[in-house]
Amino acid sequence: MAKVISQDTFDDVVKENVVEFSMTPSEAKEETIKQFEAQGINLANIIKDLSINPESGKPVINETVDQIKEHIGQKTVSTAQLLEQLTILDAECAKSLAHRVLAGKNGAHDSLITLLEQTLSSDSPNEDLIKKCLEAVNSLTNKQPDLFDAEAMAVVLKLLSLEQNSSEREEITLLTLQWLQKACIMHEMNRQNIMNTPALKLMKPLLGKDKPRLVRELTAVFRFLVLDDDIRVEFGCAHEHARQIANEVLLPLVELLPAYQDPNVLADLLLTIGTLAVRQELCTAIDEAGGLKIVFEIMSNNLGEVRLNREGLKLLRALAGHDSVKAHIVQQGVAPIVKQLLETHQNNENIVAAALACITTLTLRVKEHSAAFFETGIAEVIVEALRAHPKHKIVQRNGAWAIRNMVSRSRNQCETWISYGVEDLLNAAMTDHPSVEQDIKAALRDLGCNVHLREEWTGKAEKKIAA
């Protein structure tokens, strides 16, 4: 078995080479690596690219954390020096996860939380110091959500409670929201703990007009709170969190849509609304608030925006989970918009796949909806979209779904579809993408084409069944 050493042992030898033998940091690290490898020691667990102080020989990240701790205990350095140390810590943590883990082991998180608590409790909090602390803690928490604890949450609540009376305060709030986002990723318990605090009540008033950056960060927090990405827990609370958040902010988010023109802000709003619309009554609430008309106007006015329209199509598909809302979507004229999107973005596989999926959902088991789409001449556009992306499995599968749903209760359409050459396209797709063969066969079957349907399993009865 290969011998291993700790990071401290490695750092001590580097320090010795710098201090005792007057080597430069790069020479000291190179010599240390040679020494240990010559002894047959495996250095796979060692961070070899740490920045070294050329005077003391210590890793910069360790020294910086120690200096911040010293300030907290004795306040021996000036605010300017402290800001510089926080900047260094931020830069070191941004280098790699290994650097962040080392900083966390040396107590960087507790030090930053204590420093934030001390600063916020003063009569006139230093906003520059708060910002630098938040930048450092954001870098430290990135992909390390386990560091986020109850003390950190208490600080977040204080920061969210700050009055938004200046651009500096807005920057502090933005950094606070980014910190919350990093705490949510891959950590179900953090999400549950956040939802058990007044954080949502404090975030809701921050939603408003003329605050594009705040809206984007807030909607990201809402989406991250309903993630289900932590493999350490058997069951998450994503659905319940979505319901709770939707009850508070869903309608305000819908009302914000007409207030913004920026496609990125609108895309974030549409994505968040679609993420939160997890129950039928929520879909109905969006419809009753005039949300469908607003979404149609946004998509029609921004036909060239790829991300915005992709999120719009996903939102319509989510809302169509409610049958009456699905009927309203079609009745209010979605078919021409979807056709325009397919024509405008025929070379963009993401928009094509999303549009075909939306058609699939809206035409499912409703003959009138199928007719509404067919009358726009969308059949030829769909066939051309399939022809443009023969190697894209999702496009071919979604296209087969859309065709099947459109013709399954409207066999009068079949001749038109076949006249556009769809049979040859689907047969070619079945050969190129065997994993979606059954989906394509279903479309061919409902089109009335020749298709070989294989019986996947046949049982053998123990006793013969009498005729």
3 - beta bridge partners?
Answer: 41
Sign of CA dihedral 438, 440, 443, 444: negative
Residues 258-287: tens digit of each pLDDT: 999 999 999 999 999 999 999 999 999 999
Would you state the torsion angle of the CA atoms of residues 410, 414, 420, 423, taken in this order, to the nearest 10 degrees? 120
pLDDT of residue 461: 65
Q: Is the pLDDT of residue 401 over 90?
A: yes
Inter-residue contact 157 to 202 (CB < 8 Å): yes
Instruction: Name residue, tokens 């986020």.
Output: 148
Mean local confidence (pLDDT), 158-167 = 88
Q: Which amino acid is at 307?
A: R
Q: Cα dist. 312→73, 148, 272, 302, 330 in Å?
A: 53, 34, 11, 11, 14
Q: Is the pLDDT of residue 410 over 80?
A: yes
Inter-residue contact 221 to 180 (CB < 8 Å): yes
* Nearest CA among 437, 343, 338 for reference residue 396: 437
Inter-residue contact 129 to 82 (CB < 8 Å): yes
Inter-residue contact 207 to 256 (CB < 8 Å): yes
What is the C-alpha separation between 33 and 13, in angstroms, rounded? Answer: 10
What is the C-alpha separation between 269 and 312, in angstroms, rounded? Answer: 10
Q: Which amino acid is at 226?
A: V
Quick check: helix, strand or coil at residue 203?
A: helix
Instruction: Name residue, tokens 């991250």.
Output: 224
Quick check: helix, strand or coil at residue 59?
A: strand
Q: If you average pLDDT over every residue of the chain, what do you get? A: 94
Mean local confidence (pLDDT), 116-131 = 93
pLDDT of residue 20: 87
Q: Is the pLDDT of residue 76 over 80?
A: no
Inter-residue contact 270 to 311 (CB < 8 Å): yes
Mean local confidence (pLDDT), 442-460 = 82
Mean local confidence (pLDDT), 368-372 = 97
Quick check: helix, strand or coil at residue 293?
A: helix
Q: Which amino acid is at 104?
A: G
What are the residues whose beta carbons fall under 8 Å from the beta carbon of 456, sequence distance 6 or more?
Answer: none
pLDDT of residue 73: 83
Q: Where are the domains of the chain?
A: 1-58, 321-450
pLDDT of residue 3: 83
Q: Is the pLDDT of residue 314 over 90?
A: yes
Inter-residue contact 365 to 410 (CB < 8 Å): no
Identify the band that residue 194 occupies on the pLDDT scale cut at 50, 70 and 90.
very high
Please state, as a whole number, how many other Cβ atoms lie within 10 Å of the Cβ of residue 132.
23
Q: Is the pLDDT of residue 465 over 70?
A: no
Quick check: helix, strand or coil at residue 41?
A: strand
Mean local confidence (pLDDT), 340-345 = 97
* Nearest CA among 160, 172, 158, 244 for reference residue 207: 160
What is the C-alpha separation between 461 and 29, in angstroms, rounded? Answer: 74
pLDDT of residue 397: 97
Q: At what angle do helices 167-184 and 212-224 cross, to 10 degrees?
A: 20
Residues 218-264: tens digit of each pLDDT: 999 999 999 999 999 999 999 999 999 999 999 999 999 999 999 99
What is the C-alpha separation between 133 and 111, in angstroms, rounded? Answer: 10
| Superfamily the domain 321-450 falls into | Leucine-rich Repeat Variant (1.25.10.10)
Mean local confidence (pLDDT), 370-393 = 97
pLDDT of residue 111: 96
Q: Which amino acid is at 79?
A: T
Inter-residue contact 240 to 196 (CB < 8 Å): no
As given in the structure block, the two tokens for residue 3 are: 């011998």
Q: Cα dist. 391→356, 388, 438 in Å?
A: 16, 9, 17
End-to-end CA, the chain: 71
What is the C-alpha separation between 222 and 238, in angstroms, rounded? Answer: 11
4 - beta bridge partners?
Answer: 42
pLDDT of residue 1: 58
As given in the structure block, the two tokens for residue 117 are: 């608590």
What is the C-alpha separation between 348 and 388, in angstroms, rounded? Answer: 9
Please state, as a whole number, how many other Cβ atoms lie within 10 Å of the Cβ of residue 410.
18
Percent of the chain beyond pLDDT 70?
A: 97
Percent of the chain beyond pLDDT 90?
A: 82
| Least trusted range by pLDDT, from 63-77, 81-95, 422-436 | 63-77
Q: Is the pLDDT of residue 467 over 60?
A: no
pLDDT of residue 44: 86
Residues 58-71: tens digit of each pLDDT: 999 999 999 999 98
pLDDT of residue 457: 67
Mean local confidence (pLDDT), 105-113 = 96
Phi, psi torsion values for 464, nearest 5 degrees: -65, 130
What is the C-alpha separation between 195 and 241, in angstroms, rounded? Answer: 7
Q: Is the pLDDT of residue 419 over 90?
A: yes
